[in-house]
């Protein structure tokens, strides 16, 4: 009875509690004063949220192309001597070359250990009948042993019981995923939004930052290690058709989530809370020997599914929102990009309602990996196009169209010869009165409601006064803008397509398409005739005999609009 009462009369949600307790030592005054005063304010705010790592010129390298990402990945694997740790959503099922590269590295160095963390739902999707991430990695475990190759698969605690039993594969991933992209090699760490599969190595544009810092690399290793300790371990199995089994080691930090979700969340939050906020310091004077640093890196992560609902101590969302509060002056410029454009409302509000001018770069429908795909996913590009349209409408509504611009990225047509897809995500901000960025955010997050409620994300906020790095960040934007074209609300309006005579010669059969009315009587009755199906508008103007039609890649069906009202937060 009490559960029924609670359902009918739910308790009012209490404000979410947040606590911050970092152990960042004070910045040296001589260095602190060299940053712009506005940047110093941001740095102090971030100091209260996330651990801070100082760096010097040359410690950060920015890659701009997927082939650079892949060649760097292979080179770092080949030269690693003590550890390789890789966190990704999945490993592509055709990545035999990457697996061989790991095999060769393990054979070349007896001290080398490999740690891999991927998502359990995505990593076993094709099993047991076809190759999947788990079956691809299992031979490494069989050859070198689990003490040298530790393959883990994170399973969201949100999917269990009846929901798991009835939810089809592909759709079960909407409950949450391991979405971090951490690629570590000895004392270097590469952050990206790219997964470990062929398209990300060849024709899928993303972002890639290499950090040469043992301390920062150790920190991200501990992040992966923590999530691995609450994940399944992949071991070979000769009894199962798929060739592997998932086990829950007794050494894990908690029980399996479906066994006791309350205990699981309690254990994970207890483990993650200090890790997200602090780094290991021998003393508060530890940074004295780095008084020539010019760049600060703040690792931030979003682990919402692993915290109690009202006590989410994830660091990414509060850090990003604090960062965007910096857009309070017109002398600052910003750029935001996401391949899957569906901004968290709080982020959109900060960008739109700030005083700064900025640009958004997102994927054209023809650069969306789901373009012309089969099944329900066919409509995914339309969904993100609708989000972009709504964003433009809101910008126009508040009179900011001259300040905020949306660009669509397109390089050929995806899934055709020479066609690329777009997966870059992040943001850049300048110091006041500058043209090149001083701040960027890079990592796995798509900055959506889903990223801040269902998935595991890890990112870095970089603040620099190094002119070389600032120019490299600007070059990164320029590289992305090479294939970007301005998107405007007028692009969604019907445009002239063909003459009336051409239309009449190819008049559709109204018996098979009753939505279309092109009869002579109808044309004579009114000057303009509009006919509408669920995803397009056709206008015939009597005076100039021209047909007006919405461009194919600007059509948004009513079904997509309805679906987004129901499922918008899961995109």
pLDDT of residue 294: 94
Cβ neighbour number for residue 468 with a 10 Å cutoff: 12
Residue 522 pLDDT greater than 70, yes or no: no
What percentage of the chain reaches a pLDDT higher than 70?
Answer: 85
**Tokens 């909407």, residue?**
174
pTM of the predicted model as reported, rounded to 2 decimal places:
0.87
Picking from 258-272, 328-342, 517-531, which range would have the lowest pLDDT averaged per residue? Answer: 517-531
Encode burial over 6-15: b for 16+ CB neighbours within 10 A, e otherwise. Answer: eeeeeeeeee
pLDDT of residue 30: 78
Q: What is the mean pLDDT of residues 408-430?
A: 97
Residue 223 pLDDT greater than 60, yes or no: yes
Distance separating the N- and C-terminal Cα atoms of the chain: 36
Q: Which of 38, 76, 155, 181 is catalytic?
A: 181
For residue range 130-147, what is the model confidence (pLDDT) as tens digits? 999 999 999 999 999 999
In order of their start, the domains of the chain are: 1-9+19-492 (3.30.870.10)
Residue 62 pLDDT greater than 80, yes or no: yes
Query: How confident is residue 19, by pLDDT bands cut at 50, 70 and 90?
Result: low
pLDDT of residue 290: 52
Tell me the Ramachandran region of residue 370: left when phi exceeds 0, alpha when psi lies from -120 to 50, beta otherwise. alpha
Residue 21 pLDDT greater than 90, yes or no: no
Q: How far is CA 187 from CA 82, 193, 305, 381, 462, in A?
A: 9, 20, 30, 39, 19
Picking from 319-333, 384-398, 538-552, which range would have the lowest pLDDT averaged per residue? Answer: 538-552
Active site residue 186: yes
Q: Which of 76, 179, 277, 366 is catalytic?
A: 179
Residue 526 pLDDT greater than 60, yes or no: no
pLDDT of residue 498: 61
Q: Which of 56, 103, 164, 186 is catalytic?
A: 186
pLDDT of residue 289: 47
pLDDT of residue 571: 60
Pairing of strands 244-247, 437-443: unpaired
CB 185 within 8 A of CB 80: yes
Strand order in the sheet with 425-430: 53-55, 295-302, 457-464, 437-443, 425-430, 333-338, 357-363, 404-409, 484-487
Residue 224 pLDDT greater than 60, yes or no: yes
Residue 411 pLDDT greater than 70, yes or no: yes
Encode burial over 345-360: b for 16+ CB neighbours within 10 A, e otherwise. Answer: eebbebbbebebbbbb
Active site residue 179: yes
Residue 534 pLDDT greater than 50, yes or no: no
Average pLDDT, the chain: 88
């Amino acid at each position: 009875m009490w559960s029924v009462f609670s359902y009918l009369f739910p308790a009012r949600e209490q404000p979410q509690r947040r606590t911050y307790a970092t152990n960042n030592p004070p910045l040296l005054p001589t260095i602190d004063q060299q940053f712009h005063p506005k940047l110093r304010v941001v740095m102090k705010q971030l100091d209260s949220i996330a651990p801070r790592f100082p760096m010097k010129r040359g410690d950060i390298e920015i890659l701009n192309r997927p082939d650079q990402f892949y060649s760097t990945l292979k080179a770092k694997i080949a030269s690693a001597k003590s550890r390789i740790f890789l966190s990704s959503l999945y490993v592509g099922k055709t990545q035999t070359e990457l697996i061989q590269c790991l095999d060769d590295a393990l054979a070349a160095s007896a001290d080398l250990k490999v740690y891999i963390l991927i998502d359990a739902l995505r990593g076993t999707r094709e099993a047991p009948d076809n190759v999947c991430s788990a079956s691809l990695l299992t031979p490494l475990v069989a050859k070198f042993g689990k003490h040298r190759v530790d393959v883990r698969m994170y399973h969201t605690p949100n999917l269990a019981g009846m929901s798991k039993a009835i939810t089809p594969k592909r759709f079960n991933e909407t409950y949450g995923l391991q979405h971090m992209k951490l690629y570590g090699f000895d004392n270097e760490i590469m952050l990206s939004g790219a997964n470990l599969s062929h398209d990300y190595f060849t024709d899928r544009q993303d972002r890639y930052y290499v950090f040469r810092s043992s301390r920062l690399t150790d920190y991200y290793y501990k992040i992966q290690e923590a999530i691995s300790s609450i994940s399944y371990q992949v071991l070979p199995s000769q009894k199962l058709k798929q060739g592997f089994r998932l086990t829950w080691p007794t050494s894990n930090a908690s029980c399996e989530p479906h066994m006791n979700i309350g205990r699981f969340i309690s254990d994970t939050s207890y483990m993650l809370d200090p890790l997200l906020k602090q780094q290991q310091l021998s003393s508060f004077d530890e940074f004295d020997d780095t008084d020539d640093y010019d760049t600060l890196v703040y690792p931030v992560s979003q682990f919402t599914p692993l915290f109690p609902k009202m006590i989410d101590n994830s660091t990414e969302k509060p850090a990003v929102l604090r960062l965007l509060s910096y857009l309070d002056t017109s002398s600052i410029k910003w750029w935001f990009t996401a391949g899957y454009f569906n901004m968290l409302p709080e982020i959109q509000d900060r960008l739109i309602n700030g005083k700064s001018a900025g640009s958004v770069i997102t994927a054209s429908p023809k650069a969306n990996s789901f373009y012309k795909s089969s099944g329900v996913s066919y409509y995914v590009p339309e969904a993100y196009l609708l989000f972009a349209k709504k964003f433009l409408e809101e910008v126009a509504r508040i009179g900011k169209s001259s300040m905020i611009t949306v660009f669509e990225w397109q390089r050929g047509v995806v899934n055709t010869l020479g066609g690329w897809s777009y997966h870059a995500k992040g943001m850049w901000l300048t110091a006041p009165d500058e043209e090149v960025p001083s701040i960027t955010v890079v990592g796995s997050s798509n900055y959506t409601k889903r990223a801040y409620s269902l998935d595991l994300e890890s990112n870095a906020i970089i603040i620099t006064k190094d002119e070389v790095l600032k120019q490299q960040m600007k070059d990164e934007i320029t590289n992305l803008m090479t294939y970007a074209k301005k998107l405007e609300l007028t692009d969604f309006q019907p445009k002239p397509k063909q003459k009336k005579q051409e239309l009449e010669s190819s008049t559709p059969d109204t018996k098979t398409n009753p939505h279309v009315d092109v009869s002579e009587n109808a044309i004579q009755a009114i000057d303009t005739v509009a006919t509408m199906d669920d995803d397009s508008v056709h206008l015939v103007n009597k005076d100039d005999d021209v047909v007006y039609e919405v461009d194919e890649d600007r059509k948004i069906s009513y079904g997509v609009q309805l679906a987004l009202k129901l499922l918008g937060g899961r995109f």
